[in-house]
Amino acid sequence: MENISQTLKSLLLKNSYKTIDKKDFLEKLKTYFGIENLDKEIIILFNQKGYEINIEQQYMNTYPFEQEYIKKYVLQEGVKNEYNNKFIYYNKIIFNDNISAITSLIGNKESVEDIYFYFDYEKNTMLNKFALSNINYDNFVYVVKRIWTFR
């Protein structure tokens, strides 16, 4: 029986996610998340969303739910579910540089903010232009202020 991490990886693969080799995966973790020390199987990203990186299965978990809830309710809906789409698109953008995934999210300000500002993904000109002209900078300033208060 598949565990939840294998089920999530299967969802990605069924939706044209391409597994990359370990070296490329580690390089992307360093580039987009500043992660160099991989002494754990799961890494929780330091942002307000609490996304997790699954090192073994090589994906980013973007679900805001507990694993049992994801397994029981969310995954059954497939691509009809907005959380599944976000999970698929984010992983295809960050780890596959997938243009069609970028195009699918370009109208969603929150997603563009995540990808552009939090993950520092600046490879795509279309995404850059949209991010710089449409992002709610008040929200971004709030996050920066929160980070500085922890130091």
More confident residue, 19 or 51: 19
The single-letter DSSP state of residue 77 is: G
Whether 59 contacts 93, CB under 8 Å: no
More confident residue, 57 or 116: 57
Domain count, the chain: 1
pLDDT band for 83, please (50, 70, 90 cuts).
confident
Query: For 5-43, how does the pLDDT look when each residue is reduced to its tens digit (9 = 90+)?
Result: 888 999 999 999 999 998 999 899 888 888 877 777 767
Tokens of 48: 């307000």
State pTM to two decimals: 0.80
Range of the domain at 47: 4-149
Q: CA-to-CA distance for 33 and 44, rounded, in angstroms?
A: 11
Strands across the sheet with 52-54, in order? 42-44, 52-54, 59-61
